[in-house]
Structures are given as C-alpha cells and as structure tokens.
C-alpha cells in the first residue's frame, strides 16, 4: 500500500518510451497560436493580460539591465504554472515532482545569473562573500559559509518546488483513499473527509501557482544581485 502512493511520481512509459517529454510539451498547446491579429478572442485577451501582469511583477525588483531577462523569466513562469495546474487533474503526471527536472531548470539559470555578475561586475559579485567590516578572525569561516550558501541556491530552488508539490499530491491521494474506504462503513465521516479533500484541492491549486511564482521570483532576485 505504501509503495502505491508513490506510483504517481513514476514517469509514465508507452511501449518503452518515456512520456515525460510529452507531458512537458503539452502546456504549449494552451498558449495562443500566432495570428495576424493581436487579439483573436476573449481567452487570448485574458492570456495577454495575465502575461503582462506576471511580467510586471517579476520585473519590478530589477533595474533596466535585468529587463533583458523578461522573456526567459515570464516564459518559465508560464511553463511551471501550467505544468503544476495540469498535474492536479485526475490521471495526469506532474513533471515538476521530479527533482531531476527541477534541478535541470534551476541550475543553468542560477549559473547564468552568477556568470553574468562575474562578467559585468566581478568585484561586487565576489564582495558578497565577505561583508564589509568583518573581523579578521572570522574571514575564513565567513567566506566558507557564504560560498556554501551561494552554491546550495539551485538545490534549494529544486527541492522547494519538488517537496511542496509532492507533499500536496500525497495528501490528496491519502485523503481520497480514506474517503472511498470510509464511504461504505461510515458515510457521515466519509462526507466530512470529502469536504476536507475539496478544501485541500483548492489549497493545492493555490500552492501550484505560488510555487511557480516563488521559483521565478527567487531567480529574479539572484539576477538583481549580479547586475
């Protein structure tokens, strides 16, 4: 029984072919298709409004130099948001519950922000490792601590996204299993459990949106430190 709870996090296969890539490409079908008109329908209007809102929120803490990253950060936000929300549908697979995928997204982007800082302002970037006014005896230890905190940033990004989504999916499956098991035995408790399941599902929708935003927001803050 315990193993079956984690089967939902196993990458699906069809004829020996992993469907992880297909599940990652599926959200692209929900994006507006190119057209000779700016706005084709109300759904496109809503998408454009949401994209503008997300871009505005992400670019607020950045200066003009960081606005070059607007397309990358906004696209990543939309990608994570759609994947997280589609993963809440029944009989679907959520690629962002895989730590390997989240690390594949977090590490290159974090490294790009770090290399940008080292190229444009190497003194300021290295200066973050040693705050001004540090006592001489604490300099070696503080440099090691700051270097470690810098290097674990991509790991923290990937683990945060994976842990939050995995915990939510497990809770939904546990409570749904309890609801179906209690239905023939204690219907009143089963109805109460179903109500909790509904509230938890709404909470997970919010978590899916918030975690996508937090992932990209932290990347934008890392970028601001290096430009």
Please report which confidence band the pLDDT of residue 214 belongs to, taking 50, 70 and 90 as the band edges: very high
Instruction: Write the pLDDT tens digit of every residue in 146-169.
Output: 888 888 999 999 999 999 998 888
CA atoms within 13 A on the CB side of 148: 6
Instruction: Write the pLDDT tens digit of every residue in 31-87.
Output: 666 566 666 667 677 777 877 888 888 887 777 877 888 888 888 888 898 888 888
Q: Where are the alpha helices (DSSP H) in 60-152?
A: 70-86, 99-120, 122-127, 139-151
Identify the pLDDT of residue 140.
Answer: 83
Distance CA 124, CA 129 (A): 9
Please report which confidence band the pLDDT of residue 1 belongs to, taking 50, 70 and 90 as the band edges: very low
Question: What is this structure's pTM?
Answer: 0.81
Distance CA 206, CA 161 (A): 13
CA atoms within 13 A on the CB side of 42: 0
């Amino acid at each position: 029984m315990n193993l079956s709870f984690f089967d939902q996090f196993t990458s699906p296969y069809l004829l020996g072919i992993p469907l992880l890539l297909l599940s990652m490409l599926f959200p692209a079908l929900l994006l507006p298709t190119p057209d000779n008109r700016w706005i084709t329908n109300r759904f496109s209007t809503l998408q454009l409004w949401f994209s503008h809102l997300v871009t505005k929120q992400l670019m607020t803490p950045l200066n003009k130099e960081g606005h070059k990253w607007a397309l990358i950060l906004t696209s990543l936000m939309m990608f994570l948001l759609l994947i997280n929300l589609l993963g809440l549908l029944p009989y679907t697979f959520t690629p962002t519950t895989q730590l390997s995928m989240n690390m594949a997204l977090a590490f290159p982007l974090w490294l790009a922000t770090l290399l940008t800082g080292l190229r444009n302002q190497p003194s300021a970037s290295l200066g973050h490792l040693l705050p001004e006014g540090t006592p001489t005896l604490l300099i070696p230890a503080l440099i090691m601590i700051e270097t470690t905190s810098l290097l674990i940033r991509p790991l923290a990004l990937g683990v945060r996204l994976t842990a939050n989504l995995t915990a939510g999916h497990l809770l939904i499956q546990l409570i749904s299993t309890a609801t179906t098991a209690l239905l023939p035995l204690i219907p009143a408790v089963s109805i109460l459990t179903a109500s909790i399941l509904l509230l938890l599902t709404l909470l997970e929708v919010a978590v899916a949106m918030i975690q996508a935003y937090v992932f990209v927001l932290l990347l934008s803050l890392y970028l601001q430190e290096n430009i």
